[in-house]
């Protein structure tokens, strides 16, 4: 007997870009390339696309077999990172949308704050908010994490399907 799922609805999911291992690894390669240039310029500039971020999050979800969050799609528009996906738990599933603002702390470290979350017809549980925030931090800031003592993020821009991060040597 097949198990039934009750779909609780939620925000409409945007079209999913083509997911690829190559796009997922391009996100970390972008950091490496930018760091190579920093040797001469003293600045790091990284530009990431929706396809790269969606692929990187998809790889993280696939690597965690206990993940409740599935089918992530990242959109980058008007200063906001929006993460869409499907959350499945037990017999229930719901579409979810999280609006995430990139933040730079006083030490120049990049972080992410979930500013709103829709989970089916309900607000998203704190666990889902924390999970997505941690995944984004790992996908984006984690690539730079081991080098954080040498660099300070000075600006972050989100627009037109791209995320731009600029840092400088300390």
Give the mean model confidence (pLDDT) for residues 65-82: 89
How confident is the model over 154-159, as a mean pLDDT?
A: 94
**pLDDT-derived band at 77, boundaries 50, 70, 90:** very high
DSSP 84-136: EEEEEETTEEEEEEEEEEEEE-TTS-EEEEEEEEEETTEEPPHHHHHHHHHHH
Query: pTM for this one?
Result: 0.82
Q: Angle at Cα 159 formed by Cα 157 and Cα 164, nearest 5°?
A: 35
CB of 102 closer than 8 Å to CB of 108: no
Nearest to 100 by CA among 64, 58, 72: 72
If you average pLDDT over residues 92-102, what whole number do you get? 88
If we measure between CA atoms, which residue out of 75, 63, 103 comes closest to residue 11? 75
The Cα–Cα gap between 136 and 111 comes to 9
Question: Is 38's pLDDT higher than 70?
Answer: yes
Q: How confident is the model at residue 158 (pLDDT cuts 50, 70, 90)?
A: very high
Q: How far apart are CA 21 and CA 140, in angstroms?
A: 16
Q: Per-residue pLDDT for 146 more than 50? A: no
- What was the pLDDT predicted at 10? 84
Q: Bridge-partner residues for 13, per DSSP?
A: none
Q: What is the pLDDT of residue 114?
A: 85
pLDDT band at 20 (very low <50, low <70, confident <90, very high): confident
Nearest to 80, CA basis, from 164, 167, 165, 159: 159
6, containing H or E segment = strand 6-7
HEC string of 14-37 equals CCCCCCCHHHHHHHHHHHHHHHHH
Integer angstrom CA distances of residue 93 from 7, 45, 153: 5, 39, 37
Residues in the chain: 170
The CA-based dihedral angle spanning residues 94, 50, 54, 26, taken in that order and rounded to the nearest 10 degrees: -170
């Amino acid at each position: 007997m097949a198990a039934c799922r009750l779909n609780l609805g939620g925000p409409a999911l945007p079209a999913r870009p083509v997911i690829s291992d190559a796009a997922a690894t391009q996100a970390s390669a972008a950091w490496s390339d930018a760091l190579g240039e920093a040797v001469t310029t003293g600045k790091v500039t990284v530009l990431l696309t929706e396809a790269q971020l969606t692929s990187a999050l998809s790889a993280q979800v696939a690597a965690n077999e206990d993940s409740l969050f599935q089918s992530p799609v990242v959109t980058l528009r008007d200063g906001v990172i929006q993460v869409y996906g499907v959350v499945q738990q037990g017999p229930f599933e719901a579409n979810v949308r999280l609006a995430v603002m990139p933040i730079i702390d006083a030490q120049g470290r990049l972080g992410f704050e979930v500013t709103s979350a829709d989970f089916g017809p309900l607000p998203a549980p704190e666990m889902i908010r924390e999970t997505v925030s941690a995944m984004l931090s790992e996908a984006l800031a984690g690539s730079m994490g081991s080098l954080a003592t040498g660099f300070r993020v000075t600006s972050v821009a989100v627009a037109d399907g791209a995320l731009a991060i600029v840092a400088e040597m300390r």
